[in-house]
Amino acid sequence: MSDTHSLDALIAALRRLPGVGQKSASRMAYHLLQNDREGAQLLSRALHEASASMRHCERCHTFTQQAVCATCLDPSRDLSRLCVVETPADQAALERTAAYKGLYFVLLGRISPLDGIGPQDIGIDLLFKRACDGVVQEVILATNFTAEGEATAHVVSEGLKSRGLKVTRLARGVPVGSELEYVDLGTIAHALADRR
Amino acid sequence: MSDTHSLDALIAALRRLPGVGQKSASRMAYHLLQNDREGAQLLSRALHEASASMRHCERCHTFTQQAVCATCLDPSRDLSRLCVVETPADQAALERTAAYKGLYFVLLGRISPLDGIGPQDIGIDLLFKRACDGVVQEVILATNFTAEGEATAHVVSEGLKSRGLKVTRLARGVPVGSELEYVDLGTIAHALADRR
Ligand SMILES: [Zn+2]
Ligand SMILES: [Zn+2]
């Protein structure tokens, strides 16, 4: 066995992180061993604890340590509206606006055929079941306005409409504070079409 | 305590990796929990084992699980030459050329005042002690040809020359296989000055 096998194993394990190749993985490993062994131990424990304790909320699919997450259990939320987002970070962004009081469904991803991620991988059956509880009146699609986010919104929308649900999408338009001159043409075209 | 505290702790711990901000850390955490729990456990163990077992070679400062690394113990190496590199990856690149049979000293970094990394942080005293063993005849500086690598080479060179050692630097020049038209001017100027 080589005299650096545990370093080699660390570099190989770091490469499993998304976006991390051989070079970044080496740089991360050298940095932790050279300058931040406390960080290495901290990360080791955090990985172990998170992967042992985090599961999916039975209602909204987000990560939680309980059977049902705190948001789904919050009695002050409006049960008639369900907002579909890609990630907990997107949900947090919507929460910061304080403009939405309904509930969420967190896909934890988006449909991406190139990455082998299909509808089943983002909990779409759970979403359909959740949205058809008889209480939800409107499903608001808040997936990203990227090609994959739009494709995901399309698939989700078709499935929900075929089940008789009202489906809306976040408005596309000119960002607040921006000058038209610097806004891309597709955005201006959408803002024109969706004018109110 | 929040129902996602172990996820929050994982994201915070991932941010200690170099080059990883809030957004990448979230993406890494979601990916591991959603698609690769086995990878999370593997990385957890690898971090623990590497930070518990890896130490510095007493002679060349590189990472090893022994007191002295395999390269320093290799009886076929030429003891009279010592090559100074920034990282084990740089040492591996030199080894792949099969053009060098001497020993190494691995700084595990480079002097970088902006990052608070000074000569003491890259084991410079150990290098001076190592190079002055009475056997080493020549120290070859193979730090990178970046601003920081050059600054490091300069500091190391001054220290070694003041101790009476012969110090050389890898030649700068036109990369093999490249067309002059596409080579940057500084490189051509160095290749002209160092012509042979
Ligand atoms: Zn929930
Ligand atoms: Zn060594």
Task: List the structure tokens of A159.
Answer: 């499935």
Which candidate, B60, B3, B170, places its Cα nearest to that of A66? Answer: B3
**Model confidence at A2: pLDDT above 90:** no
Reduce the DSSP state of residue B101 to 3 states and report it.
coil
Contact B50 A7 (CB under 8 A): yes
Spacing, Cα A68 to ligand 1 middle (Å) = 5
Write the DSSP symbol of residue A179.
-
Write the DSSP symbol of residue A107.
-
Write the DSSP symbol of residue A50.
H
First to last CA, chain A: 70
Instruction: Record the pTM.
Output: 0.84
Spacing, Cα B18 to ligand 1 middle (Å) = 33
The model's pLDDT over B115-153, given as tens digits with 9 standing for 90+, comes to 888 998 898 999 999 999 999 999 999 999 899 999 999
Q: How far apart are CA B85 and CA B123, in angstroms?
A: 12
The model's pLDDT over A25-84, given as tens digits with 9 standing for 90+, comes to 999 999 999 889 999 999 999 999 999 999 999 999 999 999 999 999 999 999 999 999
Q: Which ligand is nearest to the CA of A60?
A: 1
CB A29 within 8 A of CB B62: no
List A106's β-bridge partners, or say none. Answer: A85
The model's pLDDT over A94-111, given as tens digits with 9 standing for 90+, comes to 888 888 999 999 999 999
